[in-house]
Homo-oligomer: A and B are copies of this chain.
Amino acid sequence: MSTIKQVAARAGVSFTTVSHVVNRTRPVSDAARIRVERAIAELGYFPSAVARALKTSQTRILGVIVPNIINPFFSELVRGIEDACERNNYSVFLCNGDDDRDRQGRSLDTLLGRRVDGVILATPAGPATTLARRIAATKLPTAIVDRPVPGARVDHIAIDHAAGARLAMEHLLELGHRRIAHISGPSAFEVSRARAAGWRQALQGAGVEPREDWLLEGDFLAPSGHELARKLLAQGEITAIFASNDMLAFGALRAAAEAGWVVPRALSVVGFDGIEIGSFTSPALTTVGVPIRQMGETAAMVLLDRLAGRTKRPGETIVAPRLIVRESTGPARGA
């Protein structure tokens, strides 16, 4: 890679001038500018972001820690973040926390060492609290996606889980369902607890006492939805399942198909998240849609605003989910 000095030598000017040409940071005569530009083109010069970062002590990099990029929820989120960064000449450092406390810690170490300008934390796991605390200690500007961190002075982009769960449950109740099971995510995650609480409250609001064997705890992945739904179906009583995310719902749909329960005639299923593929399964999945990509963009923008000094105090952005009725829900059997 060529350097600014090589460009300067070739253009017959000082490297100061080259710098100013590149950054348009003070007027340069046309003659000089043209020579410099030609030299840059001939050498294929790109300013070193490394040297620049060292000098200006900002890297224009945002670090992103997600549990697992394979999960469509997080890949959509990352996409949103990436888009917003791209538009603002920022780059993204991606770290997979891997649902693993140690690895998340190491990711943070890396990001700290890389001197990223800010971090977006999207790990819903318990350990994130530790992470958040560490980040707070370093005063690194941070945005947290979808997990409350009590007392932390960071920006927070949250989903209104309670409202989402209510949407799903009201839909089911209106269709006449009463014996509604819930497959939750790990109860260690606040998300899971909030959605489960929504399930419980809605049931009680309808005068139905939620039975504890209607609540099964999964891990947000399709296989666990599959296995848990099988158990639920074996009981034989329930008419609907509210799954804590779409992957669990897919697993449940699969279990229903295997057990010969026709959806939605014999069983209704509602998911949560609204990942794209849900509209292409058969039956298409009724779900509580969250504008995931947009959340990613928002998280990035909020952080970028803070970095640019456009905001002072940490804020909370709450995004409201909306019900997407497709084909996996219908009137309760016998209703």
Contacts and interface: CB of A to CB of B under 8 A. Distances in A.
B250 A281 contact: yes
A91 B95 CA distance: 8
Contact of A222 (B138, B254, B277): B277
Interface in A75-108: 75-76, 78-79, 82-83, 86, 91-96, 103, 106
A163 interface: no
Number of copies: 2
A291 to B, nearest CB: 14
A68 interface: yes
Contact of A282 (B78, B79, B254): B254
A76 B74 CA distance: 12
A51 interface: yes
A282 B280 contact: no
A93 B92 contact: yes
A237 interface: no
A325 B91 CA distance: 41
Interface in A256-304: 257, 276-277, 279-284
A82 to B, nearest CB: 5
A59 interface: yes
Contacts of A68: 79
A303 to B, nearest CB: 17
A43 to B, nearest CB: 11
Nearest to A223: B280
Nearest to A282: B257
B50 A138 contact: no
A279 B247 CA distance: 12
Interface residues of A, number: 53
A253 interface: yes
Nearest to A81: B94
B115 A50 contact: yes
A51 B54 contact: yes
B46 A109 contact: yes
B72 A78 contact: no
B94 A78 contact: yes
A53 interface: yes
B59 A70 contact: no
B44 A138 contact: yes
Given A75-B70, A254-B284, A277-B250, A114 B86 contact: no
Interface of A: 1, 44, 46-51, 53-54, 59, 68-70, 72, 75-76, 78-79, 82-83, 86, 91-96, 103, 106, 109-110, 112-115, 137-138, 222, 226, 250-251, 253-254, 257, 276-277, 279-284
A-B residue pairs, 8 tightest by C-beta: A257-B282, A75-B75, A46-B113, A222-B280, A250-B280, A94-B94, A49-B113, A46-B112
